[in-house]
Amino acid sequence: AQSVTQPDIHITVSEGASLELRCNYSYGATPYLFWYVQSPGQGLQLLLKYFSGDTLVQGIKGFEAEFKRSQSSFNLRKPSVHWSDAAEYFCAVGAGTASKLTFGTGTRLQVTL
Amino acid sequence: NAGVMQNPRHLVRRRGQEARLRCSPMKGHSHVYWYRQLPEEGLKFMVYLQKENIIDESGMPKERFSAEFPKEGPSILRIQQVVRGDSAAYFCASSPGQFNSPLHFGNGTRLTVT
């Protein structure tokens, strides 16, 4: 069965600083990989997805992620964080599907002004 | 806004009562998924339904939980005889059904069992 690890429970960055959120997955074949963002009291919004092809994917709100098969990683990055990016970020993997997903436990991002 | 609609947003039930959570998928979507988020945890898959059919219920607890998606009306997640451990956020998501179509999530129903 597939699994996802997000090693950082909580990260604090200053506004304007760069951001990298880590995600490692376990799955035998090429996975479907996702990053979702959840603001307090809200549902999940899709930031970006990887199915195949170019390993660097661009998403909404200036986010990008890079799929590294050799490291089983799919880290999320943003060059300059805005205060409105404060939220919880979830990495997820799908085993040949984009719908039945296994989620990580999330990374809570705090942005200081 | 034709997003995924869930109601109620908040639901309080006493132990032993029944909880009914409703979900209307996005317009044009015929596939519905229920996920549960326990405090300080990620989302866990519960069940996948199409109209009048349960496709995959491998994540549903064996007792007290049931789900349906009738021909007409919203999908319903039903929890009978709730216990404190059922307190969680329950999220519904929908998709048009293609294997590579990402999920669209609703804002969730937060169930509190007292």
Distance of CA B62 to the CA centre of its chain: 16
DSSP state, residue B36: E
Is 80 exceeded by the pLDDT of residue B98? Answer: no
pLDDT band per the 50, 70, 90 thresholds, residue B42? confident
Question: What tens digit of pLDDT does each residue of B55-85 get?
Answer: 999 999 999 999 999 999 999 999 999 999 9
Dihedral class, residue A84 (left if φ above 0, else alpha if ψ from -120 to 50, else beta): alpha
Give the span between the Cα atoms of B90 and B43, in whole angstroms: 9
Give the span between the Cα atoms of A61 and A78, in whole angstroms: 9
Chain B residues in contact with A49 (beta carbon < 8 A): 102
Is 80 exceeded by the pLDDT of residue B99? Answer: no
Chain A residues in contact with B102 (beta carbon < 8 A): 34, 46, 49, 98
Which of B5, B23, B32, B43 is the best mutation test for A, with the most CBs of A within 10 A?
B43
DSSP three-state, residue A58 = strand
Shortest CA gap B102–chain A (Å): 5
What is the model's pLDDT at position B90?
97
Give the span between the Cα atoms of A59 and A63, in whole angstroms: 5
| Nearest-Cα residue of chain A relative to residue B91 | A43
Is 90 exceeded by the pLDDT of residue A4? Answer: yes
Average pLDDT, chain B: 93
Dihedral class, residue B8 (left if φ above 0, else alpha if ψ from -120 to 50, else beta): beta
- Interface contact flag, A43 B95, Cβ < 8 Å: no
Q: Give the rounded percent of residues in chain A with a pLDDT score beyond 70.
A: 100
Is 90 exceeded by the pLDDT of residue A33? Answer: yes
Question: What tens digit of pLDDT does each residue of B14-24 get?
Answer: 999 999 999 99
Shortest CA gap B99–chain A (Å): 5
Average pLDDT, chain A: 93
- Interface contact flag, B4 A43, Cβ < 8 Å: yes
Question: What tens digit of pLDDT does each residue of A41-60 get?
Answer: 888 999 999 988 889 999 99
